[in-house]
């Protein structure tokens, strides 16, 4: 993960709880087709995030 584009305190606290911080290894496992939930692994720990969270998280694909 390379960047967070939302600076609201509550949002930053939430993603920090998920350890979804710059430098974390994020694997996208799947995305549900209708509600947009995204299952991810953050440094090997599974989490589910919604589209509202995902839109503020920038990632870079590793080769």
Answer yes or no: is 52 within a domain. Answer: yes
Answer yes or no: is 63 within a domain. Answer: no
* Contact predicate 41/21, CB 8 Å: no
Give the chain's domain count: 1
Rounded to two decimals, what is the model's pTM? 0.82
* The two structure tokens encoding residue 15: 């993603």
Answer yes or no: is 9 within a domain. Answer: yes
- Give the tens place of pLDDT for each residue, 13-46: 999 999 998 888 999 999 999 999 999 999 999 9
The CATH number assigned to the domain holding 47 equals 2.30.30.90
Question: Is a pLDDT exceeding 80 seen at residue 2?
Answer: no
Beta strand extents in 1-63 (DSSP E only):
3-4, 26-31, 38-42, 45-49, 57-58
pLDDT value, residue 43? 92
Domain extent for 35: 3-58
Answer yes or no: is 30 within a domain. Answer: yes
Question: Is a pLDDT exceeding 90 seen at residue 61?
Answer: no
As a whole number of angstroms, the distance between CA 44 and CA 55 comes to 21
Answer yes or no: is 27 within a domain. Answer: yes
């Amino acid at each position: 993960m390379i960047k967070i584009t939302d600076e609201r305190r509550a949002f930053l606290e939430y993603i920090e709880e998920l350890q979804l911080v710059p430098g974390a290894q994020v694997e996208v496992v799947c995305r549900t087709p209708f509600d947009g939930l995204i299952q991810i692994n953050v440094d090997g720990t599974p989490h589910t995030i919604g589209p509202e969270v995902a839109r503020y998280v920038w990632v870079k694909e590793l080769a």
